[in-house]
Amino acid sequence: MKKIGKLVRLYRHPVKAMRGERLENCRVDTFGLYGDRSHYFLDPSNQGKYLSADKVPALLGYSARFIGEERPDVYPDVHITSPKGKEYRWGDAQLFKELEEVAKRPVTPMRSTPLEGGRNWEDHLLIVTQSSLREIASGLGSEKLDERRFRPNLVIALDEDQPFAEDEWFGRQLRIHDVVLRVNKHCERCTYVNIDPETLEMNPAVLKTVVKRHENHFGVYASVVEPGTLTSGDEVYLL
């Protein structure tokens, strides 16, 4: 077992395709971060697929957070803040009407339970490293790049500043506090990463740089082997 870094940030997205919440600690269940992407929208105009921000970038102007007790049988209330600062609760008809106007299409709101888990794209958790983020920023001629473009759950600061060191973790396990994760595969990127999470402006150079620097891969997917609790600052070990 080798210490390779520390966990510096955790992000949970209660509503798929909306901005999430930065947490200091979070429970990890068998599906990933508790409640991550537990609420979502289906797009009947697109064969019932998930409504996503690459199709409707304005969704990222909305932020979602849980408020209330985190129970094992039902998720807490989700509170959503619109770009204009208006507060909604999940289930509010006015929210759904507004989102249909924003998306310019009918949408079907859905939510899961803790027994079902959220609707992640390909695996339980998405991990990125600060070293790899700086490499992409450098390719853009920038000192910094907002990590939220890449929708991570966990951001790791490596002890050895090696970009894309996570490529060597496939098939191996990470231990963070009492949580054990298995690293499975790359995350292949789409136009999502071009959207600035603050201004919603598009910058096609971001995806082009990811393609050029790392064959359109950024971040790695991991599945939960042993649930537990994660806290910002936890040390990360490669088993």
Tell me the pLDDT tens digit for each residue of 102-145: 999 999 999 999 999 998 878 999 999 999 999 999 999 998 89
pTM: 0.95
User: CA torsion, points 109, 115, 117, 123, in degrees to nearest 10?
Assistant: -150
List the CATH number of the domain containing 15.
2.40.33.20
Provide the pLDDT for residue 28.
98
**Percent of the chain predicted with pLDDT > 70:** 100
Structurally, how many domains does the chain consist of? 1
Lowest mean pLDDT, pick from 53-57, 106-110, 185-189 = 53-57
Residue ranges making up the domain that contains 93: 2-238
